[in-house]
Amino acid sequence: MGQALGCIQVDQSTVAIKETFGKFDDVLEPGCHCLPWCLGRQVAGHLTLRVQQLDVRCETKTKDNVFVTVVASIQYRALAEKASDAFYRLSNTRAQIQAYVFDVIRASVPKLELDSTFEQKNEIAKAVEEELEKAMSAYGYEIVQTLIVDIEPDEHVKRAMNEINAAARLRVAANEKAEAEKILQIKRAEGDAESKYLAGLGIARQRQAIVDGLRDSVLAFSENVPGTSSKDVMDMVLVTQYFDTMKEIGASSKSSSVFIPHGPGAVRDVASQIREGLLQAHAAT
């Protein structure tokens, strides 16, 4: 009914392009408008003023000959004051924006190596935004934001990069492990050396105490028993220690120590004792 009476409604965040006998006449803002069709007035089309987003995937090559796919997200909108330019001057806005994005990315990325491409993605996005702003402002569009949302190297390149990173981490881990083992061995050797040093001090002190005790015993015995020499006292002390040792060995049920005479004379005595035992055994048979 409204169209029959020449009335149209323009929604919010939208403008309508008014023509009179096929010629641009005016931009109709949101609201209700009267367009008498009998006077040749009509709406040529509508133009949204909302922010739109276009995702562009661009394949290119870096300076070190690695093929990557750069994903750029372009946010743009038409300007109300330039609605006629946005409606009439471009037939395919998205294709035009995509062409400019391809041009800037394929001019910027080949100047950078792969690692630098990841590090300087903000600079690439800024270059794309500046170029689009200059180009699209003449057509009545504003570039709100340009983002480089992803940089995807070739699958083989990603696998190689992961292997390189894993190998580097394994090398660092091996170095750290070797360094830790080195520290443990050093600390173990230092502890062993310190233990042996303290054990040596203990043995030296023990022997010094034994020597001091023997000296005091010999002096005291020589003074209390007239006519004895130091040698006699030492022989007696040694015999006493010998019997004390034999007593301790005999008292232990798990002792594996055996004392036998040693020296050339002692060996001769052992041989004669064995010979005599054999002769007595033959005589008995």
> Which of the four pLDDT bands, split at 50, 70 and 90, describes residue 74?
very high
Task: Decide: pTM greater than 0.95.
Answer: no
SS3 182: helix
**Beta-carbon count within 10 A of 136 CB:** 22
Q: Angle at the Cα of 163 (from 161 to 167), degrees rounded to 5?
A: 120
Contact 71, 102 (CB under 8 A): no
Which tens digits make up the pLDDT trace of 175-202? 888 888 889 899 888 888 888 888 888 8
Q: Is residue 78 a contact partner of residue 86, using CB atoms and an 8 Å limit?
A: yes
CB neighbours (10 Å) of residue 243? Answer: 10
Mean pLDDT of 40-48: 84
Cβ contacts of residue 221 below 8 Å, gap of 6+? Answer: 228, 233, 236
Task: Give the mean pLDDT of 62-74.
Answer: 89
Measured distance CA(49)–CA(67) in Å, rounded: 37
Can you tell me the distance from the alpha carbon of 57 to that of 73, in angstroms, rounded to the nearest whole number?
9
